[in-house]
Amino acid sequence: MIEKEKLILALESSCDETAAAVVRGDGKVLSNVISSQIETHKKTAGVVPEVAARKHVGKLQVVFDKALEEAEVSMNEVDYFAVTQGPGLLTALVCGTTFMGTQAFLYGKKLIPTNHIKGHILSCTLDRNLEDFEFPIVVLSVSGGHNDLYLVHDWNKIEKLGSTLDDAAGEAYDKVAKTLGLEYPGGPEISRVALDGDPKRFELPYPLRNQPYNFSFSGLKTNVKYLVGELGGISSMNNKDIADVAASFQWTINNNLVNKTIKAAEEFGVKEIHLVGGVSANKELRKQFEEAISGRFKFRFPLSFGYCTDNAAMIGGAARFVDKDKWIEPGEPVDALLEWDF
């Protein structure tokens, strides 16, 4: 564990956000700079890895410099560098690891290779006091790329309880948005449109009832496609129909996430439930969690929306817990890794 007053300059480039942040050893985030490629990927309604890599190259130095500037610290005051080593898109990861390996050599700093998923899992600790948390904790981490349920015994002892057998929730949000003629990324679009919708108008099947901690959203996505077909296709649906389908889908998928997480929390007798990852930005999901938990467990989500979707603050946060024997000396090679144990 890194000392409380040390400063980490962290970089994230595993998918379509180029991000850098300065995080203190006690978890205080001094800056969190995110350059999103969303406008680029809207054209293809998803991320093309080579395109993402090209965009990262143009932004790495920009976000790196800006993170220092916004934190109002000089390079001399930075103690360590951290970088997302994996998992993610290989072409995108290589950009970040190569860049930070070079910076570490130039400035003579040790580089802490960090796991992206662990960054999400620990994102509720940012700007919070570590002593306030009570183990064990059930963490639901949901984004476009992953959908996992974890039992956290300690910050370095994390057990995976289950994950998605096909699509992640964020991916399902993105695909259903496309079916409804909405833009990428679909999560924020569905929640915006669903505000005017009736979540009870259409009853969609409850996904994967017989496996408590695994998820499956591919069928739900297909159910929405059939429903749109039954309503005569998107061109003959009015705004109310679209809002009702969006709201019904949102309620169903959220309800599934909530139920499975609470079941795990009950089963393992935990004190806290954390909701993290890009989909944790969904306000309706937070509300459904709060209602279902009704005070039985402490419920937390990241303190800023900027810590939900991909960001470098969470990488700096998780870097605090990486064993020293994994740290990379200045000038040593740093590989991107697609799989990595916590």
Whole-angstrom CA distances from 163 to 41, 141, 232, 270 are 26, 9, 34, 19
How far apart are CB 278 and Zn ion at their closest, in Å?
Answer: 6
Do 294 and 300 form a contact (C-beta atoms < 8 A)?
Answer: no
Owner of token pair 């699509």:
167
Residue 15 near ligand KG4 by CB under 6 A = yes
Looking at the Cβ atoms of 24 and 175, the one nearer to ligand KG4 is: 175
Whole-angstrom CA distances from 253 to 143, 246, 284, 290 are 13, 11, 11, 16
How far apart are CB 257 and ligand KG4 at their closest, in Å?
Answer: 10
Using the rule CB under 6 A, which residue among 35, 191, 223, 252 binds ligand KG4?
191
For the segment 206-225, give every residue that binds ligand KG4 (CB under 6 A).
none
For 35-93, the DSSP string reads: EE-HHHHHTTTS--HHHHHHHHHHHHHHHHHHHHHHHT--GGG--EEEEEEESS-HHHH
How far apart are CB 93 and ligand KG4 at their closest, in Å?
Answer: 12
Using the rule CB under 5 A, which residue among 12, 17, 241, 310 binds Zn ion?
310
Q: Say how far apart CA 114 and CA 331 lie, in whole Å.
A: 18
Looking at the Cβ atoms of 127 and 284, the one nearer to ligand KG4 is: 284
Size of residue set near Zn ion by CB under 5 A: 2
How far apart are CB 177 and Zn ion at their closest, in Å?
Answer: 18
Do 337 and 87 form a contact (C-beta atoms < 8 A)?
Answer: yes
How far apart are CB 327 and ligand KG4 at their closest, in Å?
Answer: 25
Residue 313 near ligand KG4 by CB under 6 A = no
Looking at the Cβ atoms of 174 and 272, the one nearer to ligand KG4 is: 174
Residue 309 near ligand KG4 by CB under 6 A = yes
- Which helix (H) or strand (E) segment holds residue 284: the answer is helix 283-293
Q: Is 303 exposed, middle or buried (0-12, 13-18, 19+ CB in 10 A)?
A: middle
Residue 136 near ligand KG4 by CB under 6 A = no
Residue 173 near ligand KG4 by CB under 6 A = yes
Residues near 194 by beta carbon (within 8 Å), at least 6 away in sequence: 243, 246, 247, 249, 250, 284
Residue 311 near Zn ion by CB under 5 A = no
Cα–Cα nearest to 32, from 319, 284, 317: 317
How far apart are CB 333 and ligand KG4 at their closest, in Å?
Answer: 26
Tell me the Cα Rg of the chain: 20
Burial 132-144 (b: 16+ CB within 10 A, else e): ebeebbbbbbbbb
Residue 199 near ligand KG4 by CB under 6 A = no
**Which listed range, 56-64, 93-101, 150-158, 169-177, lies at the site for ligand KG4 (CB under 6 A)?**
169-177
Cα–Cα nearest to 279, from 117, 140, 139: 140
For the segment 89-148, give every residue that binds Zn ion (CB under 5 A).
143
Identify what 170 binds: Zn ion, ligand KG4, none; CB under 5 to 8 Å per kind.
ligand KG4
> If DSSP codes are grouped into helix, strand and coil, which group holds residue 242?
helix
Using the rule CB under 6 A, which residue among 115, 143, 164, 223 binds ligand KG4?
143
Residue 117 near ligand KG4 by CB under 6 A = no
Looking at the Cβ atoms of 248 and 311, the one nearer to Zn ion is: 311
Which chain residues interact with ligand KG4 by CB under 6 A?
Answer: 15, 143-145, 170-171, 173-174, 185-188, 191, 277-279, 281-282, 309-310
Which chain residues interact with Zn ion by CB under 5 A?
Answer: 143, 310
